[in-house]
Amino acid sequence: MAITTDETKANDDDQVYQKGVKNLCENGVTKVPKKYILPEFDRADEVLQVDLTMPNLKLPVIDFSELQGPNRSEVLKSLTSACEKYGFFQVVNHGIPNNVISSMIDVSARFFELPIEVRSKYMSSDLTAPVRYGTSFNQNKDRVFCWRDFLKLVCHPSQDVLVHWPSYPTDMRRLAVTYAKEIKNLFVMLMEAILESLGLWGATMNMTEEVEKLIKQFQDGSQQMVVNCYPPCPEPHLTLGMPPHSDYGFLTLLLQDDVEGLQIQYKEKWVAVQPLASSFVVNVGDHLEIFSNGKYRSVLHRVLVNPAKSRISVASLHSLPFNSMVSPSPSLINKANPRRYKDTDFACFLEYISSFEPKRKNFLESRKLL
C-alpha cells in the first residue's frame, strides 16, 4: 500500500519530536507544535498560577540538623504531619555541601547545551538501560508530548553503571557520582526517621529485625537520578513540562534551580512550590504509600513551563533493590486497618508503563485491594 504525503510528513515530524524540545528550540520554534498541545481540560488555568485562597501555604520545612539533636521527637511529629497532610516537605541543613549541589545543577545545564549529536547518543527505548536520554513523560506511550527533555541515570551499583554514563561534559561522571552518593546517604537517614515516625522503632524501642533489614535494603537499593530540562516555551499555557503524576519509589529528593515550575495538588487545588535555596523538596512515593498501608500518601504533582527561562531539576528516586517486593508492613496491619495493597516490585511498574499511558496515580490504583 502506498504511503501518502501526509503520512510521510507525520513520520518526519514524529522523528523530529523524538529528538526533544531542546532540539526544537535550537531550531527556532516560535509556536508550540500540535504534538504538544494538551486538551483544554488538561492545561494549567494560567501560567504559574498559585491558588489565591491559600497565599501563605508553604511546604513544611524539616530541619535535618534538628533530627540529630534533642528536638528529634518534635521534628518527627512535623515529619509525620507533612507525610500525612501534604505528601511533600522541604529539607534544610541537610549537610550536603553547597558546592556539591551547585556543581550538579551546573553540569546538568551544560549537558543539555551539548550538540544534539552528542546528546542523542544516549537515546534508548529500553526502560532498564543504565543511561537514557529522552523527551516528554513516556515518549513510547504519550499521545501528547510534554515540554521536557531528560537524562536518566541508574546509580547502583556504581561500579557497573558509571562506565555507561555520559563522558561529556568531561566532569559529569565525577560530579554526578559525588552528588549521587551524598543524596543516597541523606535518603537512608530520612527513611530511618520516617520508619521511626511510623512507630516501627524509636527512643524506647530498639530497631526490630524488620527495620534493620529495610535499612540494609535501602542502602543497597535502587537509585535513579532524572536530570530534567524544561526549555523556554513560546506558548506555555498550551502544554506542561510534566503531567499530573506520582512517583513510584519510597522517596524522591528533588534538587531544582531558582526557576519556579513545580506544583502539587493540595485539597483538590494546584499550589506552586517556592524553591528554597540549598534545600531539597522531598515527596512520598507510591512504594511508601504501600509500605505504610496508606498512612502516608503519594501526592499528584506536575510541572509548568516558563516563557522566558529554562528550568533545570534533578530528581533522585529511591526504593528497595529492583528485584525486591514491596509490601505493606505487617506492623501496620490490624483489624482496624486491614491490608489495603497488593505486593509490587519494579518489574510490575515497568510492565504497567509499557502497556498503558501512565497518568495520575493509575499504577498505584492498580495495586489497591480496598
- With CA atoms as reference, report the closest residue to 329 among 192, 195, 205, 221: 195
Classify residue 294: in a domain, yes or no: yes
- With CA atoms as reference, report the closest residue to 184 among 226, 141, 222: 222
pLDDT of residue 9: 47
Q: 123 has which bridge partners?
A: 133
Q: What is the CATH number of the domain that holds 56?
A: 2.60.120.330
Classify residue 11: in a domain, yes or no: no
Higher pLDDT, 274 or 220: 220
pLDDT digits (tens, 9 = 90+) for 79-125: 999 999 999 999 999 999 999 999 999 999 999 999 999 999 999 87
pLDDT of residue 100: 98
Grid coordinates given for 67: 533530627
Classify residue 3: in a domain, yes or no: no
Locus of grid cell 543504565: 130
Residue 4 phi/psi, 5-degree rounding, is -75, 165
* CA distance linking residue 224 with residue 129, whole number of Å: 11
User: Is the pLDDT confidence value at 364 over 80?
Assistant: yes
pLDDT digits (tens, 9 = 90+) for 118-154: 999 999 878 789 999 999 877 777 889 999 999 999 9
User: Is the pLDDT confidence value at 61 over 80?
Assistant: yes
pLDDT of residue 13: 64
User: Is the pLDDT confidence value at 3 over 80?
Assistant: no
What is the CB neighbour count within 10 angstroms for residue 312?
Answer: 21
| Strand order from edge to edge, sheet including 242-245 | 242-245, 301-303, 262-266, 269-272
User: What is this structure's pTM?
Assistant: 0.92
Count of domains in the chain? Answer: 1
pLDDT digits (tens, 9 = 90+) for 220-249: 999 999 999 999 999 999 999 999 999 989
Classify residue 5: in a domain, yes or no: no
DSSP, collapsed to helix, strand or coil, labels residue 210 as helix
pLDDT digits (tens, 9 = 90+) for 325-338: 999 999 999 999 99
pLDDT of residue 48: 42
pLDDT of residue 164: 95
Residue 320 and residue 222 in contact, taking contact as beta carbons nearer than 8 Å: yes
Residue 285 and residue 298 in contact, taking contact as beta carbons nearer than 8 Å: yes
* CA distance linking residue 91 with residue 97, whole number of Å: 14
Q: E strands within the chain?
A: 61-63, 88-92, 131-135, 149-154, 223-230, 242-245, 251-256, 262-266, 269-272, 280-284, 301-303, 311-318
Range of the domain at 32: 19-367
Grid coordinates given for 247: 512517583
Mean pLDDT, range 190-201, rounded to an integer: 95
Q: What is the mean pLDDT of the chain?
A: 89
Grid coordinates given for 148: 521536557
Integer angstrom CA distances of residue 303 from 89, 96, 210, 348: 17, 25, 36, 26
pLDDT of residue 194: 97
Count of residues making up the chain: 370
User: Is the pLDDT confidence value at 40 over 50?
Assistant: yes
Classify residue 342: in a domain, yes or no: yes
Classify residue 12: in a domain, yes or no: no
Q: 283 has which bridge partners?
A: 88, 252
Residue 153 phi/psi, 5-degree rounding, is -125, 115
- Alpha helix positions (H), 88-207: 98-112, 116-119, 158-161, 172-197
What is the CB neighbour count within 10 angstroms for residue 161?
Answer: 18
Query: What one-letter code names the amino acid at 142?
Result: D
Mean pLDDT, range 205-231, rounded to an integer: 93
User: Is the pLDDT confidence value at 53 over 70?
Assistant: no
301 torsion bin: left (phi>0), alpha (psi -120 to 50), beta (else): beta
User: Is the pLDDT confidence value at 349 over 50?
Assistant: yes
Residue 354 and residue 128 in contact, taking contact as beta carbons nearer than 8 Å: no
Residue 146 phi/psi, 5-degree rounding, is -95, 155
Percent of the chain, pLDDT > 90? 70
Binning pLDDT at 50, 70 and 90, where does residue 1 land?
very low
Higher pLDDT, 42 or 84: 84
Classify residue 243: in a domain, yes or no: yes
* CA distance linking residue 231 with residue 198, whole number of Å: 40
Locus of grid cell 515530524: 13
233 Cβ contact partners less than 8 Å away, ≥ 6 residues apart: 21, 32, 147, 239, 305, 306, 307
* CA distance linking residue 369 with residue 338, whole number of Å: 10
pLDDT of residue 139: 77
Classify residue 9: in a domain, yes or no: no
